[in-house]
Amino acid sequence: MPPRFAHIHIPKTGGTSVTRYLRYLFGVRRVAHFGHSGRTRLFRGVSSEELSIYRCISGHLSYPALLDKLGPKVFYFTVLRDPFDLFISFYSDIYHRRAHPLHELAQTKSPMAFLEIVAKQNLLRPQISYLSASGSFAEAVENIENRKIAADSLPNMGRLLRVVARKAKKAPAKLPHYNISPRAPVPDEPELRAAIAEFYGDDARLVAMVEARNAARGLPKG
């Protein structure tokens, strides 16, 4: 039997808290997490049969990559985040973490210059690229609208995880606090917001669409 749940862990969207929650629901040994780049490369070499021992697969993996291994009879879900908040979290983490390969770049470049480099070199992938084979906004929306992927925004992560618990026929647990890195200095914030809107406008549109869709369905916040 393939895993019944798959968490598309977009970086900087509370994934550590989601993984802790999943391990509480299913047990540590029943959740496989493919987080950093070495683990995501490892995922490519793992067979569907080897993955079948887990109730849930989580990782920095795209929907097409997961679908190829797990098939369609899995509850795929993801957490989205406002792209400005996501970038600030990404930049701040690197700015303060000396071991990160981009630490010196974050220390020596302004947030605006850092943004231009990571966006143009695809070092910070758009969220829509995790949700579609083409990396397009239209396909990401289609996958959500057709209920191939359940999605919610970071402030409402709890209600998405309650859906997972209900589908797993488990009692919902208290959501762990997600990690918050100290904020790096961010001067000229309005200009930075405008630049992020230019580079990651489709992500902003997707988050707004998901929030509006879930509000229209009458789902409680949080």
What's 184's domain CATH number? Answer: 3.40.50.300
**Does 98 reside within a domain?**
yes
- What is the sign, positive or negative, of the torsion defined by CA atoms of 120, 90, 196, 63? positive
**Does 221 reside within a domain?**
no
| Sheet strands (E) in the chain | 5-8, 31-34, 56-59, 75-80, 149-153
**Does 63 reside within a domain?**
yes
Which domain covers residue 156, as residue numbers?
5-216
**Does 134 reside within a domain?**
yes
Indicate the number of domains in the chain.
1
pTM, two decimals, is: 0.94
Distance CA 210, CA 156 (A): 11
**Does 90 reside within a domain?**
yes
Tens of each residue's pLDDT in the chain, 222 residues: 667 999 999 999 999 899 999 999 999 999 999 987 667 888 988 999 999 999 999 999 999 999 999 999 999 999 999 999 999 999 999 999 999 999 999 999 999 999 999 999 999 999 999 999 999 999 999 999 999 999 999 999 999 999 999 999 999 888 777 667 789 889 889 999 999 999 999 999 999 999 999 888 877 777
Distance CA 171, CA 112 (A): 44
**Does 186 reside within a domain?**
yes
**Does 27 reside within a domain?**
yes
- What is the sign, positive or negative, of the torsion defined by CA atoms of 160, 145, 79, 185? negative
